[in-house]
């Protein structure tokens, strides 16, 4: 469980986070939109972790305990919204696609001055409208509750390039393939190959944030070739790793 502190109001602001900087676990009474205009941010809760590159934002519902970790020099933009402002009706953290218009709205809204004038109210209204059309993105890496599956996931988190089958990993942790397959569905809500791919994509984003070459990222994340990595990355994010680096 994440230890937490309580922050009554989710502040709207922009701030810079150096590489590897962290914001400890905390919660807000308000909803919050978290966006990294530069760099990559990971957001962690007891349910798992989310990766937020510059083409994504994460919706954090009021009361959710969460922590942040910067990967690469990060430009963090935080938008606090009252519990009544939930245009998507979301009750759990969700990654949202950020197009060019929504990006500019977030950047403008988090810049000072943070007044309550009519111009700012209009800006906020358009921002909420854009959120309603923002597509949800499957970038959640859930954390299992069962210790046997947790041990398997820990092995792969330590080395995403580990290509062993679930049968082989099960032998190491003392669990059968059938048991682990069932736990993947009940604890993770996805198959084992799907979870491993999500893990590798998460790890790839963090390596790219450190400006690692694409071929190095592919190898360290367990893809057989750079072209195979590029294909999976494009399907997940809509652009190539090279474009992501730029």
- pLDDT band (50, 70, 90) for residue 109: very high
Please say whether the structural domain 5-140 has been given the CATH code 2.70.98.60: no
CATH 2.60.120.280, the chain: domain bounds: 5-140
Does residue 37 surpass a pLDDT of 50? yes
Does residue 202 surpass a pLDDT of 60? yes
Instruction: Please tell me the predicted confidence (pLDDT) of residue 1.
Output: 47
Instruction: Please tell me the predicted confidence (pLDDT) of residue 87.
Output: 79
Does residue 156 surpass a pLDDT of 90? yes
CATH 1.10.10.60, the chain: domain bounds: 144-245
Secondary structure string (H, E, C) spanning the chain: CCCCEEECCCCCEEEEECCCCEEEEEEECCEEEEEEEEEEEEEEECCEEEEECCCEEEEECCCCCEEEEEEEEEEEEEEEECCCCCCCCCCCCEEEECCHHHHHHHHHHHCCCCCCCHHHHHHHHHHHHHHHCCCEECCEEECCCCHHHHHHHHHHHHCCCCCCCHHHHHHHHCCCHHHHHHHHHHHHCCCHHHHHHHHHHHHHHHHHHCCCCHHHHHHHHCCCCHHHHHHHHHHHHCCCHHHHHC
Q: Which residue has the higher pLDDT, 162 or 86?
A: 162
Q: What is the mean pLDDT of residues 70-89?
A: 86
Does residue 54 surpass a pLDDT of 90? no
Q: What is the pLDDT of residues 157-198, one digit of tens each?
A: 999 999 999 999 999 999 999 999 999 999 999 999 999 999
As its CATH architecture, domain 144-245 has: Orthogonal Bundle (1.10)
Q: What is the mean pLDDT of residues 30-45?
A: 88
Q: What is the mean pLDDT of residues 106-112?
A: 90
Q: pTM, whole model, 2 decimals? A: 0.74
- Average pLDDT over the chain, rounded to whole? 87
Instruction: Please tell me the predicted confidence (pLDDT) of residue 245.
Output: 62
Q: What is the mean pLDDT of residues 62-81?
A: 89
Does residue 8 surpass a pLDDT of 70? no
Q: What is the mean pLDDT of residues 71-91?
A: 86
- pLDDT band (50, 70, 90) for residue 138: low
Does residue 101 surpass a pLDDT of 90? yes
């Amino acid at each position: 469980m994440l230890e937490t502190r309580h922050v009554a109001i989710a502040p709207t602001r922009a701030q810079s986070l150096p590489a590897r900087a962290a914001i400890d676990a905390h919660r807000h009474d308000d909803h919050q939109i978290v966006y990294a205009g530069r760099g990559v941010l990971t957001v962690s809760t007891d349910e798992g972790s989310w990766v937020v590159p510059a083409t994504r934002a994460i919706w954090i519902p009021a009361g959710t305990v969460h922590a942040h970790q910067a990967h690469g020099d990060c430009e963090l933009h935080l938008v606090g919204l009252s519990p009544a402002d939930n245009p998507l009706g979301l009750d759990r953290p969700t990654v949202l696609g950020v197009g060019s218009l929504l990006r500019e709205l977030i950047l403008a809204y988090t810049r000072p001055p943070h007044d309550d004038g009519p111009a700012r109210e209009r800006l906020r209204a358009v921002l909420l409208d854009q959120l309603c059309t923002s597509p949800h993105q499957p970038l959640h890496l859930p954390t299992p509750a069962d210790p046997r599956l947790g041990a398997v996931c820990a092995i792969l988190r330590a080395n995403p390039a580990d290509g062993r089958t679930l049968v082989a990993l099960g032998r190491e942790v003392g669990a059968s393939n059938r048991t682990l397959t069932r736990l993947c569905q009940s604890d993770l809500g996805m198959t084992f190959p799907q979870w491993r791919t999500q893990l590798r994509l998460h790890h790839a984003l963090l390596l790219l944030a450190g400006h690692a070459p694409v071929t190095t990222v592919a190898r360290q994340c367990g893809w057989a070739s750079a072209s195979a990595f590029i294909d999976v990355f494009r399907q997940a994010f809509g652009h190539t790793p090279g474009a992501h680096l730029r």
